[in-house]
Amino acid sequence: MRLQPFLALLLALALLPAASVSAAAPRTTLPDVEDEVMCTQCGTALNISEAPSADRERAFIRAQIAKGRTKEEIKAALADEYGPRVLAVPSRGGFDRAAFLVPALLGLLALGGVLLAALRWRRGRDDTPQSGPELDQADSRRLDAELRAFKG
């Protein structure tokens, strides 16, 4: 009689780690993978694609989910099956990294160039009014006479 509660406790303790492991690793679903994968036919995200090849990709993903694969494993299998263009976000190395970094760097360089040009343009302007050389007496009298004649 005393052995039965002990065995029940032992069984509960044995099953406890299995329950925590299954709760810690959630199962991958089709929508989890679909929004990070592209349709190979039309080039749109798989979750909005209606092309026939999108249905084949979804079937491939469902088969991988049935095998218990994680999202990263499924994406790697898709890249092996259909090529790297199937991934919505390129890998983090090689040419793919340059494809993200080069436009950003060029944008920053262009912004820096515009700022530098604006600063030089602003500094180059002289805010004092331009004045010519002083007029001598003869020119001053002639200017006054012409202004009086102009005013009438």
Please report, for the domain that includes residue 69, its CATH number: 1.10.8.640
Mean per-residue pLDDT over the chain, rounded:
82
Domain count, the chain: 2
What are the two backbone dihedrals, phi and then psi, of residue 87, each rounded to the nearest 5 degrees? Answer: -80, 130
The runs of H, that is alpha helices, within the chain are 3-24, 30-34, 52-66, 71-82, 94-124, 137-151
Report the alpha-carbon distance of residue 89 to residue 79 in Å, rounded.
Answer: 12
Instruction: Please write the tens of the pLDDT for every residue from 19-54.
Output: 555 555 578 888 888 888 988 888 888 888 888 888
Q: Is residue 148 part of a domain?
A: no
**Better-predicted residue by pLDDT, 137 or 89:** 137
Whether the Cβ atoms of residue 19 and residue 56 lie closer than 8 Å to each other: no
Alpha carbon of residue 28 to chain centroid: 24
Query: 43 and 103: one domain?
Result: no
Q: Provide the domain limits for residue 27.
A: 19-89
What are the two backbone dihedrals, phi and then psi, of residue 105, each rounded to the nearest 5 degrees? Answer: -65, -40
Query: 23 and 70: one domain?
Result: yes
Query: 76 and 95: one domain?
Result: no
Q: Is residue 136 part of a domain?
A: no
> Looking at residue 132, what is its pLDDT?
75
Q: Which of 70, 89, 108 is the last residue of a domain?
A: 89
Band of the pLDDT at 105, cuts 50, 70, 90? very high
Is the predicted pLDDT of residue 63 greater than 90, yes or no?
Answer: yes
Instruction: Please write the tens of the pLDDT for every residue from 45-62.
Output: 888 888 888 899 999 999
Report the alpha-carbon distance of residue 81 to residue 94 in Å, rounded.
Answer: 20
Query: 73 and 25: one domain?
Result: yes
pTM value is: 0.48
- Radius of gyration for the chain, computed over Cα atoms and rounded to the nearest angstrom: 38
Query: 43 and 84: one domain?
Result: yes
